Structure 1
């Protein structure tokens, strides 16, 4: 079984979701792999933060290089969030993902030049090109940005999802869709559905019970790690201030 086939096979369905932590560098990837997770999914925002960029501003070369470091660090399948594809042709995108060692990818339907939703048929055509170039060697997670872009319309979400399914997507990701709608959306679209864990939302297990077959974290784990590091830095700094106040050299 290829790595892509292994990743595809892990999408069991609602009730038993595939939980994919989001590593932002090689060290975090090793932590998640050592913890026993069967696969990983890089978050573009988390990787961007680790490289010193705002979300959406990472140069493609740096993003693919970061994905390559993560994939090299572990022996489990890695899916990469490559945003809207960086304007690359399908052949270039598939080639760069393969060179980086990724066997899956997120492709979103936001047009980054306008910040608006891309025409659904154009996005479906693009996904079909990626599928034709990759064959079965890539697990395509088609992100649907309706709820993210202020179009909280289940009918439009389903319409897009069905077009992307017909184009060859393996799963769909209606990011920020209300959790109670997950089962309805998954059934109507007919593909495994990816849901994201949010700070005040359901747990991965609960998302599975609500209809998600795949659960990711976006940049949430990276942000939690940075919050923990901030706390450590503040404690160390307070200790140094205390030492200075006591007449000791900090």
Structure 2
């Protein structure tokens, strides 16, 4: 299981900064621009099924990024600042599209200030009470993140805690929207995809690498969970599938992607 660490994530998940009285359109501190570089970076990160963990935004967020479509790239978690004098808010004028039932209005699918596709799942917005409560550094949605990896299950749980709580106390609560648990494989799960044959392997937990036949470009590479796995790709075409690791991987060439693929490949390693 892999994770990408970054100073900040490549999207503008705030539209008020400093004071909640004037909406801003562009915040270059977010690394959401230039969009070409942002999309290129996300396309590379997606190849490894890696979520992103970052900071530097003074606002905790959990987002799924999109390149060509909403949700076709990886998740990101921006942890809250451990000391938070400067505040930001994500407070869109309209509710997000396709948000979960009963989810807050600020979740769902949006275009950020740079027209990047983002699906917002959780935000730690400051409240008026938090602005006035306690010290200006230790409240104001200050806090920290805890990320837990369950390697056998291939899941990742993201926790977002206020600074002045005992996280060992079962009565303490995280910021609204957290914890969030995802599968490792959710970091490459576009809404529209095409299937390669289902792999049935003689050994479990093998590395599977898929490449474009014509360009040899890697589409993705991941250690699967178990002995059965159906690779999914972003477009129709011909692919190669490399299975195994070390000096003797097995490679299948000119494998065709289909919208619905019921073929199977039995692989003896």
Q: TM-score, normalised by structure 1?
A: 0.29
Higher relative contact order (CA 8 A, sep 6+): 1
Q: TM-score, normalised by structure 2?
A: 0.27
Bigger Cα Rg: 2
